[in-house]
Amino acid sequence: MSKTTTAAYASGASMVIAGFTIQDWALAVGVACTVTTCLVNWHYKRKKTHHEIEFLKAQINQKYTN
């Protein structure tokens, strides 16, 4: 990418960002926080489920091997 193209994109991006109102920023932050919360919840629920499955498998193995 040439310096002219980079400068044009940077200029355009700064004009868009400068045009944001407080409500626009609040919306963007709210959406980002919501998506982050969903991803973190999904990760830990998946991790918990995996541990529960492994625990139940161990209990079943213990029950039938004794």
Closest CA relative to residue 35, chosen from 45, 27, 23:
27
38-60 as b/e: b if 16+ CB within 10 A:
eeeeeeeeeeeeeeeeeeeeeee
1-42 pLDDT tens trace? 666 788 888 888 888 888 889 999 899 999 999 999 999 999
Joined together, the tokens standing for residue 52 give 């529960």
54-66 pLDDT tens trace? 999 999 999 888 6
Contacts of 20 (CB under 8 A, 6+ apart): 28
**Domains of the chain: total:** 1
Whole-model pTM: value is 0.63
pLDDT of residue 1: 60
Model confidence at 44, in pLDDT bands (50, 70, 90)?
Answer: very high
The residue range of the domain holding 55 is: 21-65
